[in-house]
Amino acid sequence: MKARAFSYFRADTIDQALDAHARAGDDARFIAGGQSLVPALSLRLQAPRLLIDITHIAELRGVCREGDTLRIGALTRHCEMLTEPLIAAFAPLLRAAAPFVAHPAIRNRGTFGGSVALADPASEFPAMTLALDAEIEIAGPSGSRRLKADDFFIDLFETALQPGELITAVHVPLFRSNQRFAFDELARRRGDYALVGCGMLATQTGDRIDDIRISFFSVGNTPTRVKGAETALTGFSLDAARIAAAQAALDNDLAPPESDEVPPMMRLHLARVLLGRLLGRLGEGA
Amino acid sequence: MSGIGDDMLAEEVNETVRVRFIVNGRKVACDVAPRETLVDCLRNVLELTGTHAGCEMGACGACLVRLDGRSVHSCLMFAVQADGARIDTIEGLSESGVIADLQAEFHRRNALQCGFCTPGMLVNAHELLSQVARPSREEIRDALSGNYCRCTGYEAIVDAIDVVAKARSEGGAA
Ligand SMILES: Cc1cc2nc3c(=O)[nH]c(=O)nc-3n(C[C@H](O)[C@H](O)[C@H](O)COP(=O)(O)OP(=O)(O)OC[C@H]3O[C@@H](n4cnc5c(N)ncnc54)[C@H](O)[C@@H]3O)c2cc1C
Ligand code: FES
Ligand code: FES
């Protein structure tokens, strides 16, 4: 099927993009990599009057250190997450997640900001912003603001973004030498959306976990932190009993939705298996 | 470019816009409706029918082309987005000879039957081998994960890419 007719505008600055959106009476969509939006338009799930191309806005590009965070421009492509040295050094959890995002050609176009804005509950990067305690930098008609990832994801494909607001960058606290991370997902085939996926970041004193953030995806309407499991691990060294306690806590942390393909009990089981594996690796890597 | 004018939104949604690209080394200009995908533009307007349109939603990989040196799905972008870009299709890659060894090996090993997937497979394999000199079979399979083939069962395709990778790196080392 073909998209419904629309007008196209290529913005050179953030202000032009915001202005165009407002003038279209918000009957507009920003297009970044287009790897999710173009299929949605082709299937006519969406039919805006105006498409605003944001990929030529220089202000949305680039990865750089800013104080004790890494600023990742919204237009950073998935493929750059694999090759950018600053990502590998200071946000290695994102580097670890990147190979699992779609296929090479989609990674060549898809953008980090687009993935976070879309907030697909099966996507890797939105969930990792939770594990990393990242902040989302947003520009809108009424100015700029920053929001914790914890406050950003609201419901299925629903975020705190208001119509006409643009994600300009994501800020990630710099990875430190006393931190450990782990990431993996279970999928039927490589490149497919995960049946269950998980990433975590632990801050340790020796073997003792002072703080841990664990985020799952493909388990519900939004990416999901599992706070019961986090609490079960905080203040302890990892051993079999602690891992079992964290796995048991998932029963309360997660409530996977009904689905014909993957029944809730199966998803919960897979989540326990995955959590066990990842905590095992976290222990070995320490 | 200045800000968008109110007039642009009126009843103009069916109008065409002029886009310019460099396709297979040649400058071309054409008039397209904004909703026209790059694959439709290449096939219908420029009559470059080597790029195939299968699923038209990013799932099958038959429509891969190179855009500014990177493989992308031409069904997942509108032609207007590519204004000013350099595009190389399977026709251009064939003529330039850069994938001649891959094509010969696909042929020799029956890595194609109906051939529908082949342009996408070649574009993908070309990018892989330009990034990783000696990919493992696992890496080859991983790179091909977004390219469907309904005929060959993939084994011969992986074989062909594997053999070319080895031949190229041995040739380069000699
Ligand atoms: C076959 C296939 C497989 C895929 N597999 C995976 C996968 O395994 N994992 C995964 O995570 N993703 C997957 N994707 C999706 C892909 O990662 C997309 O690139 C990503 O979800 C969206 O990024 P984009 O830049 O392409 O956004 P677009 O498609 O351009 O936009 C998506 C939405 O976000 C909005 N938007 C974009 N940028 C901004 C911004 N800066 N500020 C505000 N709003 C914005 C758009 O208006 C639109 O509503 C897959 C896609 C395909 C086609
Ligand atoms: S036609 Fe583009 S991926 Fe299938
Ligand atoms: S040869 Fe027929 S689809 Fe691959």
Domain annotation for chain B: domains and CATH numbers: 4-93 (3.10.20.30), 98-169 (1.10.150.120)
Closest-CA distance, A43 to chain B, in angstroms, reads 9
pLDDT, one tens digit per residue, over A14-49 is: 999 999 999 999 899 999 999 999 999 999 999 999
pLDDT, position A285 = 64
Closest-CA distance, B156 to chain A, in angstroms, reads 19
pLDDT, position A1 = 75
Q: What is the C-alpha to C-alpha distance for residues A159 and A172, in angstroms, rounded to an integer?
A: 19
What ipTM describes this predicted complex?
A: 0.93
Instruction: Answer whether B150 contacts ligand 3 (Cβ < 6 A).
Output: yes
Whether residues B73 and A109 touch (CB distance < 8 A) is answered with yes
Q: Could you tell me the pTM of the whole model?
A: 0.95
In eight-state DSSP terms, residue A49 is S
- The domain over range A7-53 is classified in CATH as 3.30.43.10: yes
Q: What is the C-alpha to C-alpha distance for residues A63 and A70, in angstroms, rounded to an integer?
A: 7
pLDDT, position B125 = 98
Where b means 16+ CB within 10 Å and e means fewer, A251-268 reads: eebbebeeeeebeeeebb
| Cβ neighbours around B130 below 10 Å, total | 11
Q: Which fold has domain A180-283?
A: Enolase-like; domain 1 (3.30.390)
Please give the average per-residue pLDDT across B125-132, as a whole number: 97
A&B contacts, CB < 8 Å: 116
Mean pLDDT of chain A, nearest integer:
96
CATH pick for A59-172 out of 3.30.465.10, 3.40.50.620, 3.30.980.10, 3.40.50.280: 3.30.465.10
Please state the domain extents for chain A. Answer: 7-53, 59-172, 180-283
Reported confidence tier of residue B14, pLDDT bands at 50, 70, 90: low
